[in-house]
Amino acid sequence: MDPLVHYWLPLGWALYLLALSVWIVLQKRPPVSTLAWILALAALPVLGFLVYHWLGPVRIRRQQIKRRRSRVRLEHGSHEPGEALVGPQGALAERQARLVERLTGSAPLSASRVELLCDGEATFEALLRAVRGAREHIHLEYYIVEPDRIGHALREALIERARAGVAVRFLIDSVGGSGIGRRFLKPLREAGAEVVFFHPFRLATLKPLLNLRTHRKIAVIDGRIGFTGGINISDTQDERVRADAYRDLHLRLEGPAVNGLQQVFVEDWLYASRRPLRQHGLFPLLPPGQVAVQWLASGPDTPDEPIHRAMLQAIGDAERRLWLVTPYFVPTEPALYALTGAAGRGVDVRLLVPEQADTRLVTHASRSYFEDLLRAGVRVFEYTPRMLHTKALLVDDGLCTLGSANFDARSFRLNFELCVNMYGSEAITALERVVVEDFAHSREVLLPRRPGPLGRLAEAAARLLSPLL
């Protein structure tokens, strides 16, 4: 045998693997993720180095640095969003507020009005009404924007306002907005609106094509009215157009809390466009309200995983009730332990998920956890009428959370997400009514649950792939 093949190639491969392993280990990622990368790339000499360079966690590190630079520029170029005018009441709410402020720097702000919007019809009507009434600026940030009925209606409203001199800024995720093209956006831009794509695809930045998405849904009108939640700009969420439209929730707010929502948009806009906003009136002084609101912006640029940690804290603090609603239930190990632990200490823990998610893989992955949950005393419900897209958490009578984050590792660690904590009984009662109604249209999953051999195999395989979902 040629000595080159017999000695030097194995030695070279071993040295390559050692160097790659040291590089990966130094990233200090979770042990399972680290071992998975090492094993996966061991069989890819040279190519593995390139794959990890462009697709591995180091890419997230580069994005963190870029986001921090944007944040520093913003802090030196704009005024603060305002001070907390009301405080959360009760020990649970106070602990949650302190944790979120430490993780995000966002103190509770007050809302003079909080309106819960159920499904697409109510949300789109309220959004269009606010857009058509804009006088100074319109700021929109969405994961999915489709050139369908609601997409065209929103575009026409934005064009009319832009022509009237209103500053229109539209930030769209390049993956979620891939269905729209230049033809759709051309009249909007010609009217004077600014349209920017978040992490557009470039050969040199391949990773953002799949990961590091902005999953946020934000609308700010004149700095006085704000919208956020789980509803995208798509007819798939409009029950007037489709009988199988997603079941979802959105939020309309007024008052000083809108300044916090504006701050998130302004930072994202600066990061994506590299253009700071200098317009007067972005953070108006607004009369205080009675509902305490706190924003949780989370993403790969926030290594403390604020939404993940805040939810774990809330679950651990629950004493009477813990109701979780999510379309994608693929929990991290700490989250699974927290839920089963809460049920074990006598808390009324309920999980509401869709009977069929929009992908079979997610459905199988979610169901693979049901047996563990049920044996611990968690009550599991599957919403049957249509796809459930709501992301919400109710804890006792002191806290409710609503937003864009699913209960999975992708939302906790990879996507740019936005949730809002509300500490007032008015908001909690409104959300409770909706969730109770959804429970009434759901099927409770009971033990014993024994799928066939193929079903068990599908669930086990989906669970194995859960870190990628």
Q: Write the pLDDT tens digit of every residue in 326-371.
A: 999 999 999 999 999 999 999 999 999 999 987 788 888 888 899 9
What's the pLDDT at 138?
98
- CA atoms within 13 Å, Cβ hemisphere of 43: 3
List all residues 6 or more positions away from 285 whose beta carbon is below 8 Å from its beta carbon.
82
* Residue 55 vs residue 190, higher pLDDT: 190
What's the pLDDT at 13?
67
Instruction: Indicate if the pLDDT at residue 10 is higher than 90.
Output: no
The two tokens of residue 337 are 């332990």
Q: Is residue 260 part of a domain?
A: yes
Give the confidence band of 118 by pLDDT, cuts at 50, 70, 90. very high
Residues 271 and 331 in one domain: no
Euclidean distance between CA atoms 52 and 66, whole angstroms: 19
Instruction: Indicate if the pLDDT at residue 74 is higher than 60.
Output: no
Euclidean distance between CA atoms 214 and 63, whole angstroms: 13
Instruction: Indicate if the pLDDT at residue 190 is higher than 80.
Output: yes
What's the pLDDT at 366?
87
Instruction: Indicate if the pLDDT at residue 9 is higher than 80.
Output: no
Euclidean distance between CA atoms 117 and 124, whole angstroms: 9
Q: Tell me the pairing of strands 379-383 and 348-354.
A: parallel
Range 284-308 average pLDDT: 91
Measured on CA atoms in the order 77, 254, 140, 392, is the torsion positive or negative?
positive
Q: Tell me the pairing of strands 225-229 and 167-173.
A: unpaired
Which of these, 144, 294, 161, 297, lies nearest to 221 by C-alpha position? 161
Instruction: Indicate if the pLDDT at residue 457 is higher than 90.
Output: no
What's the pLDDT at 455?
56
Residues 260 and 344 in one domain: no
Residues 358 and 453 in one domain: yes
Range 21-37 average pLDDT: 63
Instruction: Indicate if the pLDDT at residue 45 is higher than 90.
Output: no
Average pLDDT, the chain: 85
What's the pLDDT at 29?
60
What's the pLDDT at 76?
40
Range 169-186 average pLDDT: 93
Residues 253 and 188 in one domain: yes
What's the pLDDT at 71?
53
Residue given tokens 């169901």 in the structure block: 367
Of 20, 35, 55, the last residue of a domain is 55
Instruction: Indicate if the pLDDT at residue 173 is higher than 60.
Output: yes
Which of these, 258, 197, 265, 227, lies nearest to 120 by C-alpha position? 227
Q: Is residue 91 part of a domain?
A: no
Cβ neighbours of 275 (radius 10 Å) = 11
Q: Is residue 95 part of a domain?
A: no
List all residues 6 or more positions away from 88 whose beta carbon is below 8 Å from its beta carbon.
94, 96, 97, 108, 292, 294, 398, 399, 423
Q: Is residue 418 part of a domain?
A: yes
Range 100-105 average pLDDT: 93
Query: Are 399 and 428 within 8 A, CB to CB?
Result: yes
Range 209-225 average pLDDT: 90
Euclidean distance between CA atoms 216 and 264, whole angstroms: 10
Residues 125 and 231 in one domain: yes
Q: Residue 228 maps to which CATH number?
A: 3.30.870.10
- Of 56-60, 305-309, 421-425, which range is least confident? 56-60
Q: Is residue 44 part of a domain?
A: yes
Instruction: Indicate if the pLDDT at residue 51 is higher than 70.
Output: no
Instruction: Indicate if the pLDDT at residue 209 is higher than 60.
Output: no
Instruction: Indicate if the pLDDT at residue 381 is higher than 70.
Output: yes
Range 403-420 average pLDDT: 94
Give the confidence band of 155 by pLDDT, cuts at 50, 70, 90. very high
Give the confidence band of 189 by pLDDT, cuts at 50, 70, 90. very high
Residues 152 and 204 in one domain: yes
Domain extent, residue 141, equals 113-287
Query: Are 243 and 146 within 8 A, CB to CB?
Result: no
Percentage of the chain with pLDDT > 90? 63
Give the confidence band of 293 by pLDDT, cuts at 50, 70, 90. very high
> Active-site residue numbers?
215, 217, 222, 389, 391, 396
Q: Model's pTM, two decimal places? A: 0.85
Q: Is residue 25 part of a domain?
A: yes
Range 385-402 average pLDDT: 96
Residues 216 and 274 in one domain: yes
Residues 27 and 134 in one domain: no
Residues 417 and 330 in one domain: yes
Domain count, the chain: 3
Instruction: Indicate if the pLDDT at residue 315 is higher than 50.
Output: yes
What's the pLDDT at 185?
96
Helix, strand, coil percent content, the chain, rounded in steps of 5: 45, 20, 35
Q: Is residue 107 part of a domain?
A: no
Residues 200 and 326 in one domain: no
What's the pLDDT at 444?
96
Cα 220 to Cα 140, 213, 349, 363, 457, distances in angstroms: 7, 20, 35, 34, 46
* Residue 430 vs residue 31, higher pLDDT: 430
Range 11-32 average pLDDT: 66
What's the pLDDT at 183?
94
* Residue 268 vs residue 9, higher pLDDT: 268
- Of 88-102, 120-134, 191-205, which range is least confident? 191-205
SS3 state of residue 331: coil
Query: Are 145 and 176 within 8 A, CB to CB?
Result: yes
**Angle of helix 47-55 relative to helix 9-25, nearest 10 degrees?**
10
Read off the amino acid at residue 168: V
Q: Is residue 231 part of a domain?
A: yes
Residues 144 and 266 in one domain: yes
What's the pLDDT at 254?
97
